[in-house]
Structure 1
Amino acid sequence: MTVFINPGSGPVNDASEEHAAANITVFADDLRQAGLGVAGCARTSASDYGDGRYAFTLTMDDDRTIEIQMPGLPIAQVRYLDEDGQNIWDFPRLYVDDSSWVWKFALAVCEPDEDET
């Protein structure tokens, strides 16, 4: 019997830091389009998981910081938005403050808690 828990949370093969850096830029742009202010983004290599994900710290306009472990694959292989032709099982998870999410849900997790607004 095969049991899947958090598919896409395993190691990301053939990853590169260059793809991860390009991906975090798109992720920050998606957050901005959702109305969240991203003040900055810094590469934090000391926090890398070492599994094909690369650590970045987003600083939000509300002074929160969010650590993102970004998979280092081409954006089309990482940016799951539940669009036609996308199968959630084919996408690696990002880690947002140590919890794993596919892209679409990782964006929502970056919203401030109601008591933080």
Structure 2
Amino acid sequence: MINPGTEPVDGREDLATANLATFLDAVRGRAAEMDQVPIRYRVAALTGDPRRDPAADRDGRFGWDLPFDDGRVVRLLMPGVELPRLRDDLTARAPCLYVNGSASWWNGAVDLVAGEGLTLTPPT
């Protein structure tokens, strides 16, 4: 049995690229919200431009590496489908994104990337 949302899609790189820009805007907004929680400390943040990695492409999803200012990199596979199908479809038919190899629907993927670089202990 295939997990919902993980099936191959008929993806296009131009749609994935456009989706990535919208996704990163959502990540930055969510990260700003997360940074307001007093018990969380940001030790790393997204920095620079995403780096396209065609070797990571699979199943209609297109690979990017998202660099953080402490040197870590988050691997993102973005489906090359229309944004409403990816972001606004609340059914199990919506294609998943992959964040560091884990399948997540749009909002979960936003949370995963936005939460990268957070800790519960103050930086030393």
Give yes or no for TM over 0.5. yes
Structure 1 counterpart of 2:41: none
Assess, with a 3 A threshold, how the Cα gap between structure 1 residues 34 and 62 changes in structure 2: closer, same or farther. Answer: farther
- Of the three residues 23, 26, 29, the one matched with 2:22 is 26
RMSD over aligned CA atoms reads: 2.1
Once the two structures are aligned, what percentage of the paired residues are identical?
A: 32
Cα offset, 1:77, TM superposition: 0.9
Structure 2 counterpart of 1:93: 96
Within 5 Å, which residues of 2 pair with 1:1-117? Answer: 6-13=3-10, 15-35=11-31, 37-39=45-47, 40-49=49-58, 51-80=59-88, 86-110=89-113, 111-112=115-116, 114=119
Gapped regions of structure 2 (runs ≥ 5): 33-44
Question: Which deviates the most, 95-104 or 40-49?
Answer: 40-49
Separation in structure 2 between the aligned mates of residue 22 and residue 70 of structure 1, nearest angstrom: 10
Cα offset, 1:33, TM superposition: 0.8
Mark the structure with the bigger radius of gyration.
2
Q: TM-score, normalised by structure 2?
A: 0.75
Q: Per chain length, whose mean CA-contact separation is higher, i.e. which structure has more relative contact order (CA < 8 Å, sep 6+)?
A: 2
Gapped regions of structure 1 (runs ≥ 5): 81-85
Separation in structure 1 between the aligned mates of residue 68 and residue 21 of structure 2, nearest angstrom: 14
4+ runs of 1 displaced by more than 4 Å?
none
Q: TM-score, normalised by structure 1?
A: 0.79
**Letter matched to residue 75 of structure 2:** E
Instruction: State how many pairs are aligned.
Output: 107
